[in-house]
Amino acid sequence: MIIFSTRARVAGAIPDAVAWAAEVAQIVTKATGVTIEVATRVGGHNDIIWVSRLDNMAAVEKLMEQVQGDASYHAAIRTAQEKKLFDSVSVEQAFWRTI
């Protein structure tokens, strides 16, 4: 199993960033059929993480292709950029293999 995560540090209003994070997770879930979980960091910086679990890297690739072709996803990304909700330098994606 592959766990795919994206983490970003909140730079704008926290309530707006949290609401946007939940919204974009729903957009990706609808576009791909893959459940996206959203969590906020407890303590430390105001980070948000999106996590999905997929069977293999081929499934990750399929998810990426579906998201890249989704107009709603791109519109949501533009909204986050325009509102400066996140520190773009902090965005980090990672792939994890369960053991």
User: For 28-64, how does the pLDDT look when each residue is reduced to its tens digit (9 = 90+)?
Assistant: 999 999 999 999 999 888 999 999 999 999 999 999 9
> If residue 88 lies in a helix (H) or strand (E), which one and from where to where?
strand 86-97
Residue 44 has what pLDDT?
82
- Could you count the other beta carbons within 10 Å of the beta carbon of residue 27? 20
What is the percent of the chain with per-residue pLDDT over 70, rounded to a whole number? 100
CATH says 2-97 is which class?
Answer: alpha beta
The answer to whether 94 and 2 are in contact (CB under 8 A) is no
Mean pLDDT for the stretch of residues 77-99: 95
Residue 43 has what pLDDT?
87
Q: What is the domain partition of the chain in residue ranges?
A: 2-97
